[in-house]
Chains A and B, each alone.
Chain A
Amino acid sequence: MSSPPTPLSPTPAVSRDVADAMTDALTIPDAVGENVIGRARAAAAAVDVVVNDARASIAGWDNLAWVNAFAAAAERARDVLRTSTHPVERRLVAARLLRLMPVALLPADQVHRTVTLSLPDAVMARADNDFALGRGDVPRVHPSWTAFLTNPTALHDVLRPGRHEWLLAPRSFSPKDAAGTAMLVRVVGMSGIAGSPSELAQLEIKNPGGHTSRRRRTSDGKDAGPAELRTDVLVSWLRHGGPGARGLDLRRADDRCLLLTFHETMRERRLDVLLARPAGDDGERRAAIISAVVDAAADAVAFAALDPLACRFVFPGDERHQSWVQPAITRLTGLGLGAEIMPLSAAGPTREFVWLDAVVDSGFVGGAMSDVAQARAFARLAVSVLAPLGALPLGGARCGRGVVLTLLEDDARGPRQRGPWWVEPAGMTTVMPLSEAWARGHGRLLPLPHTDTAHDVAALPAFLQAFADAIAGPDDDDDVAGDVDTDGDGDAELAEADAELVAGDDGVDVPNSDPANADTLPPTETP
């Protein structure tokens, strides 16, 4: 009978030798393979050689030289793109090419805008696992921020005089004062049974010129009687979500990446810390924070995606420039990347060349998004994440390039309304008052609230909680406020974030000396 086999095990001396060899052998990889980011950076580095040379040697005025450098880099990029399959790789290459766009050849309305294709590093690092979501990837919101929305009379309460800025009303109410399909009004008095369909609101009308009146006017300017409207019409505009309004579809990588980018933007601005804490009673502070969250959502779209039209080449078409324009266009068209387009109506003859969508992929991950696609991405984000905070979006404007946002908030006197604002991620100004957008000719054809989807305001807080729980997993039943302060210095972090917000770093105008703000801040020092 033979003895059982001895398990194979190296002698201590051999083990020590192998360990020493592995320590010294630098060629032994510690990772399975190169990740997407590694490949993307290698692809971008191939283009960097041309970009850096050009930026160091070409004079700013020499447009033809810049175009030639762009074409040389694009040729190098084309070789890289043949083997690059991931949208993030293409995005990084295109970001390098953008550095060779001469400002003089950008569209006139884009010369003052920083055109980038930046995706936060933390989000790009998720490209390897297809931007999969997990616990902590949705901003946690303390219930006190949204509790007032569950009040069934919240929407009627904001109609009371002094509790709102401007409300939307249909064009038919006073055609002479309308901008497109809608107009701005303000309630100055109420009559009838409160909360009933017959309740009437006496209104002040703001016409496109900025003047106000309390009389309706026909389209030819004749008086049509006192400005009175049923309150349920005004409420229907508040609840109006626009045709086909929908939230994020997290089965799509684009929407997962969008949500991650928004969350990362919130983190960079410390807004996630503020939202995770109780809201406090200071209405101004609450409004400032929610406005900053809206800005973060708009910026998340605006900085990560780029409209191909915003970075097109615009060449002058007149004769005296033809000596360099014609060779430049010939060089670009010879690349086989991009296409020449013709302006519909321009002050002078111009020739234009669009190239971005030939280099990068369409969509949020790819980075090429038209202004319509950017607005729709913001609208999806707003429906899923901003609406439960009281920032109600209205999408579906005919021009497609923006979303109307109305903010509901709460203060010591109850619910109130601010806005409406026009949010246009692809524009020079991402958030502006709707009246200002109308003056610029944007957002004039809004959808009417007849049969479209409406926000179920009272259910929004529950929706947000379900949304966060679904991403975090079914076993995530931690206290919302309690799982944020993991490092024990949450109060100090909150105070710092609040101080930055009050200082206006996020573009929010909050009085720095408002003593009411101090009441809501946690103590930062122990007496």
Chain B
Amino acid sequence: MKRLSAIDLQERLRSPEASVICVTRRRAPSVDDVVRRLEAACGRVGLDLFTIDGDDSETAVLLPDLGVVAVPTVLVVSSGVLLERVCAVRDGVDARRLVALAAAGRTTPPMGAPSTTPRTTPPRTTPPGTTPPTDSGSPAGG
């Protein structure tokens, strides 16, 4: 876990690397829970967890631009794009989902990529309850 200053945060937001950043506050049990879960999830995939102090006057100036309204808030950033911003991490599974989002942000497919095309069911060519025609009688089928 690394604590970021205001300047570090600016650089981290511009960095092409994916980052998980948690806005924290001292002596807050709910913050400690979230940080602990995120730290474990980040450790599994080799990502660093960054924290910023929401009560620090220098970083607090930047937080409205990032849409942060409460503590704790988890920001997932990749290549300067905010991928997710959540206030609660309910368990380890939720933490791993957020961290996976950051990891996936490093391999975003290009716009309009053909990943949008695969169909999940074969096209229905006959009404339900009827037998589909076979090609045994067609000239091509011999």
Contact = CB atoms under 8 A, between A and B. Distances in A.
Question: Do A and B come together as binding partners?
Answer: yes
Interface of A: 129-130, 132-135, 241-251, 256, 308-309, 338-345, 352, 354, 357-358, 362, 370-373, 376, 383-384, 395-396, 398-401, 441, 444-445, 447, 453, 455-456, 459, 463, 466-467, 470-473, 475-476
A244 B87 CA distance: 24
B108 A370 contact: no
Interface string B56-92: 0000100111111111110000111111111110100
B113 interface: yes
Contacts of B30: 339-342
The 3 closest A-B pairs by CB, nearest first: A473-B123, A400-B82, A470-B117
Contacts of A246: 108-113
Contacts of A466: 117
B87 A354 contact: yes
Contacts of B138: none
A250 B109 CA distance: 13
A455 B112 CA distance: 9
Contact of A398 (B65, B78, B117, B118): B65
A476 B88 CA distance: 46
B126 interface: no
A430 to B, nearest CB: 17
Contacts of B120: 130, 132-133, 250, 256
A343 B69 contact: yes
A373 to B, nearest CB: 6
Contacts of B109: 246, 249
A51 to B, nearest CB: 23
Contacts of A470: 116-119
B113 A344 contact: no
29 contacts: A133-B119, A133-B121, A134-B119, A134-B121, A244-B78, A247-B112, A248-B116, A249-B109, A250-B115, A250-B118, A250-B119, A251-B115, A309-B70, A309-B87, A341-B30, A341-B70, A342-B28, A342-B71, A344-B70, A345-B60, A358-B90, A362-B94, A371-B85, A384-B116, A396-B80, A396-B81, A444-B65, A463-B112, A475-B125
Interface string B22-56: 01010010100100000000000000000000100
Contacts of B78: 244
B2 interface: no
B85 A400 contact: yes
B138 to A, nearest CB: 15
B134 to A, nearest CB: 16
B116 to A, nearest CB: 5
Nearest to A442: B67
A476 B122 CA distance: 12
B80 A338 contact: no
A500 to B, nearest CB: 31
A342 B108 contact: no
Contact of B88 (A339, A395, A399, A459): A339
B115 A473 contact: no
A372 B119 contact: no
B93 to A, nearest CB: 10
B132 to A, nearest CB: 13
Contacts of A467: 116-117
A401 B65 CA distance: 11
A382 B82 CA distance: 18
B54 A447 contact: no
Contacts of A339: 30, 33, 88, 90
A249 B67 contact: no
A483 to B, nearest CB: 14
B111 A354 contact: no
A251 B68 CA distance: 32
Contact of A372 (B67, B70, B97): B67
B67 A447 contact: no
A340 B117 CA distance: 42
Contacts of A398: 13, 65-66, 80, 82
Given A133-B120, A247-B116, A398-B66, 18 more contacts: A135-B123, A245-B111, A247-B111, A247-B113, A250-B118, A251-B115, A338-B88, A339-B88, A341-B88, A344-B69, A357-B94, A362-B97, A399-B82, A400-B67, A400-B83, A445-B65, A470-B118, A473-B122
